Amino acid sequence: VLETEIPVFGICLGHQLLALASGAKTLKMGHGHHGANHPVQDIAKGTVMITSQNHGFAVDEATLPANVEVTHKSLFDGTLQGIRRTDKPAYSFQGHPEASPGPHDVAPLFDEFIRLMEARSA
């Protein structure tokens, strides 16, 4: 999929798979993230969203290649919660935005995917 220009939005395991496919590594967390009400910061905007989480592994930020940027981090433990490829229409989020724990907190994640799909079909 990364060899194409098809937009990719990885969620949870998809986040870890995008990182691995990009050359990064994952690591087993001492304490996984499970349940709702996990605060995650959007690095570029400085805003915080409340998310649902269910994972025991995290992407190792120190192993990210130059073409992957950090987009989101956990405010609980600083673990990586989002990445974006700078050379492909691909990004990912560790939590479960489809669970929608905050009223509209995660809507921008889906809006970005719609934008990428519309740009591809334009």
- Over residues 22-73, the pLDDT tens digits come to 999 999 999 999 998 999 999 999 999 999 999 999 999 999 999 999 999 9
Of residues 89, 85, 87, 88, the one with CA closest to residue 117:
89
Catalytic choice (34, 98, 112, 118) = 98
Residue 43 φ/ψ, nearest 5 degrees:
-60, -45
Share of the chain above pLDDT 70, in %: 97
Neighbours of 8 (CB within 10 A): 20
From the candidates 5, 12, 38, 104, which is the catalytic residue? 12
Residue from 38, 55, 72, 96 carrying the catalytic annotation:
96
Classified as helix, coil or strand, 58 is: strand
Is-catalytic flag, 96? yes
Q: What is the pLDDT of residue 4?
A: 87
- Domains in the chain, please, with CATH? 9-113 (3.40.50.880)
Euclidean distance between CA atoms 83 and 70, whole angstroms? 5
The reply to whether 69 belongs to the active site is no
- Determine whether 98 is an active site residue: yes
Note the pLDDT of residue 2: 80
